[in-house]
Structure 1
Amino acid sequence: MTTTATPAFTFRPVDPLKDAALLHGWVTHPKAAYWMMQDARPADVERAYLEIQADEHHHALLGVGADGEPAFLMEYYDPAHRELVGLYEPEPGDVGMHFLTPATEAPVHGFTKAVITAVVGRLFEDPAARRIVVEPDVRNTAVHALNEAVGFVPVREIQKPEKKALLSYCTRERFERAVAAV
């Protein structure tokens, strides 16, 4: 059974030492296969987020629900320095993004769309952000549909070391139009 809700979220930085156990359960779940951490141990997850925490070009945040509990993970990065270096021509104001909603036995209809809307909205709170760039696996059709629903436009397939990805962009204007159309 699913319920419908439009949750409000706040964001806080990931604390690798405190959040590693939670994140380990999320990123190693079969539903998170596209996160590519299926075989990670808790120490691997802690180390990965310590590296992100120390990286000036990559950041990790937890989306927190109204109940105060972590509800999803988001990462954002400067694609001129991480993830997409040499794979596309970055423009001033580009921000790369990933998000992960954890598996649940009680899905809430519309939750993942609310998450991606909150994530993109959070990134566009920064006036310097002009365009959000994503590179999901080409096989991840569910996320392609979510991306399109909030204004992303597919550009082309690119080959990353770990996957074939669908490079897509979303401008602030496209996001605002997509959100207003709902």
Structure 2
Amino acid sequence: MGLDYRFILITQESYRDKLFEYVSKNGSLDYGGCASLHFEMDSFIFKYLEGGYDWRPHYDKAEIERFIEPNGKASIGCIYISIKKLDGPNDEIEVSFTAATSDMSRLFEDSISISKWFTDLSMEINSTITYLDLEDDGARIIYFKGLPVRLDLKGDSHLGNLGSNFFDIVKEFSIRYEHFRE
């Protein structure tokens, strides 16, 4: 079984239509929940398109060009989109964008352009929090309440390792990190 990394956005149910407008404007979506999204080209996307994540890269210009849109953006898909309603009083939904292959999962982890695309979407739909779920390798928070961030939580059982110490760790770091001092 391969990697199934996914970007997860938490937002209000009322932003559902705006979410699909953004996806339609910046890609395409079929009726089965499979999207092809258009990202600015970066070196990781180029590497992915030429098969660089494969054990046997291929350098076929004609094959790569069919994934490049007229505006120069790369079309990456199939990315599976699913939405589930979260329990609680806040009327929130969890929107998942799941990579279809292990190679695409690695691309999600590496690409600056893809991370920016999801940060921009998060701003558009007023996401509370957006993160990349790296399965057993942890999670990467990329957006929190209006601000782009990057917080990597690494390792097998990453949250279990932090447990109740997480807030103490953040507090101790914040009072000692020179950029947080006034």
Give the alignment's TM-score, normalised by structure 2. 0.35
- Asked which structure has the greater CA Rg, the reply is 2
Greater relative contact order, per chain length (Cα 8 Å cut-off, separation 6+): 2
Structure-1-length-normalised TM-score: 0.35
> Larger helix proportion, structure 1 or 2?
2
